[in-house]
């Protein structure tokens, strides 16, 4: 039987590209995001390109927390079980501190942190009941160091990474793996307005690396692994004056 994965944020960017990548490898897919029309189109295109065993779609706003729990159950029922849940949905609004952007900061924490935690909690409940599973979450290299004009985004990603580490420890010996991904710059609508995107990779390349990391069930990794595994460490020790210019 094919492996099955639920991906949140599957209508665009990394989630969508990973869905194509895993469809090609024969996975059954459960795809969720807010935009039902975009999900329908993604499903149509994936079936035309790779004809995987199953593609279920479901509109889901991860800040509708009760619905996140329903979505995991419903999509599992539709596919006949889920092996992996990928908490990937996220936003990057470019908020500035002290300049009237509090609503952007609040929304960022609601989607990227609380929505992601709801997704992981729902997945953990499902996998504990099933006796096995794999939880994957998208953090970011922004978790390594607080950067200007994205304070809430950095906080959301650092918070989510630590949350996932704690979940891994809590589920130790429960036959549930936890993978934390720290992408650098991957070319998607989230960041394509930025002038400076160091070490940028295409979304197809990013999805192929992520698929490999998921299949290896790694505990954590930057995406791509190199140079962010080194540059991430460097980010932590750069002086504030250097970070302030970024
Ligand atoms: N691209 C990068 O370089 C990069 C680097 C580090 C981390 N990341 C992280 O990777 C993840 C995916 O980002 P991306 O680059 O692929 O961006 P993207 O192309 O903008 O995709 C974001 C996805 O999240 C969904 N989404 C947003 N708000 C949602 C909500 N409230 N409920 C459910 N789904 C929601 C969007 O779908 P709808 O609008 O249809 O809901 C979309 O499918 C994010 O967590 C992002 O922070 C990206």
Model confidence at 65, pLDDT cuts 50, 70, 90, reads: very high
- Substitution candidate for ligand 1 out of 66, 190, 207 with most atoms within 8 A of CB: 190
DSSP code string of 145-163: S--TT-HHHHHHHHHHHHH
Peptide bond into 227 cis (omega under 30): yes
153 part of the active site: yes
Q: Is 100 helix (H, G, I), strand (E, B) or coil?
A: coil
**Tokens (6 digits) for 221:** 């990794």
Q: How far apart are CA 207 and CA 20, in angstroms?
A: 9
Peptide bond into 98 cis (omega under 30): no
Task: Select which of 126, 153, 163, 182 is catalytic.
Answer: 153
Q: How far apart are CA 77 and CA 206, in angstroms?
A: 30
**pLDDT tens digits, one per residue of 143-198:** 999 999 999 999 999 999 999 999 999 999 999 999 999 999 999 999 999 989 99
Report the separation in Å between the CA atom of 173 and the middle of ligand 1, taken as the mean of its atom positions: 31
Report the separation in Å between the CA atom of 13 and the middle of ligand 1, taken as the mean of its atom positions: 7
**pLDDT tens digits, one per residue of 130-141:** 999 999 999 999
Atom 34 (ligand 1): residue with closest C-alpha?
Answer: 33
| CA distance to 57, 109, 129, 211, per residue, from 34 (Å) | 11, 17, 27, 23
Report the separation in Å between the CA atom of 177 and the middle of ligand 1, taken as the mean of its atom positions: 23
Beta strand segments in the chain, E: 4-8, 28-33, 55-59, 84-87, 133-138, 176-183, 220-223
**Tokens (6 digits) for 21:** 């990548």
Q: Is 1 helix (H, G, I), strand (E, B) or coil?
A: coil
CA end-to-end span of the chain: 48
**pLDDT tens digits, one per residue of 76-128:** 999 999 999 999 999 999 999 999 999 999 999 999 999 999 999 999 999 99
pLDDT score of 246: 86
**Residue corresponding to tokens 């609601």:** 110
Report the separation in Å between the CA atom of 188 and the middle of ligand 1, taken as the mean of its atom positions: 9
Atom 28 (ligand 1): residue with closest C-alpha?
Answer: 90
pLDDT at 69 over 80: yes
- Substitution candidate for ligand 1 out of 10, 11, 12 with most atoms within 8 A of CB: 12
Model confidence at 56, pLDDT cuts 50, 70, 90, reads: very high
Q: How far apart are CA 124 and CA 215, in angstroms?
A: 19
Domain 4-244 has CATH 3.30.930.10: no
Look over the chain and give the mean of its residue pLDDT values, rounded to a whole number: 97
**Tokens (6 digits) for 5:** 């994965």
State the closest ligand 1 atom to the C-alpha of 186, by its place in the atom list counted from 1.
3
Helices 116-130 and 65-79, packing angle to 10 deg? 40
* Residue 77 burial class via C-beta count within 10 angstroms: exposed 0-12, middle 13-18, buried 19 and up: exposed
Q: How far apart are CA 179 and CA 170, in angstroms?
A: 14
pLDDT at 1 over 80: no
- Ligand 1 site residues (CB inside 6 A) read 8-15, 33-35, 38, 60-63, 88-92, 111-112, 115, 138, 140, 183, 185-186, 188-191
- Substitution candidate for ligand 1 out of 9, 66, 106, 120 with most atoms within 8 A of CB: 9
CA 83 to chain centre: 16
Report the separation in Å between the CA atom of 54 and the middle of ligand 1, taken as the mean of its atom positions: 23
């Amino acid at each position: 039987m094919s492996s099955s994965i639920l991906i949140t944020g599957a209508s665009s960017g990394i989630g969508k590209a990973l869905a194509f990548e895993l469809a090609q490898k024969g996975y059954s897919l459960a795809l969720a995001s807010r935009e039902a029309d975009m999900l329908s189109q993604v499903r149509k295109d994936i079936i035309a390109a790779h004809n995987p065993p199953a593609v279920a779609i479901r509109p889901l706003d991860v800040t509708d927390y009760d619905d996140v729990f329903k979505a995991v159950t419903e999509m599992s029922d539709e596919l006949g079980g889920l092996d992996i849940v990928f908490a990937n949905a996220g936003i990057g609004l470019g908020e500035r501190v002290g300049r009237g952007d509090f609503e952007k900061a609040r929304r960022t924490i609601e989607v990227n942190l609380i929505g992601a935690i709801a997704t992981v909690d729902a997945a953990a409940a499902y996998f504990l009941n099933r006796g096995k599973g794999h939880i994957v979450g998208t953090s970011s290299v922004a978790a390594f160091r607080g950067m200007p004009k994205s304070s809430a985004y950095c906080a959301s990603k650092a918070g989510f990474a630590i949350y996932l580490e704690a979940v891994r420890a809590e589920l130790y010996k429960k036959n549930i793996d936890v993978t934390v991904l720290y992408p650098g710059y991957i070319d998607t609508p989230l960041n394509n307005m930025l002038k400076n995107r160091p070490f940028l990779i295409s979304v197809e390349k990013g999805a192929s690396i992520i698929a490999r990391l998921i299949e290896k069930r790694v505990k954590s990794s930057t995406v791509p692994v190199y140079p962010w595994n080194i540059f991430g460490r460097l980010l932590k020790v750069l002086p504030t004056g250097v970070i302030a210019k970024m």
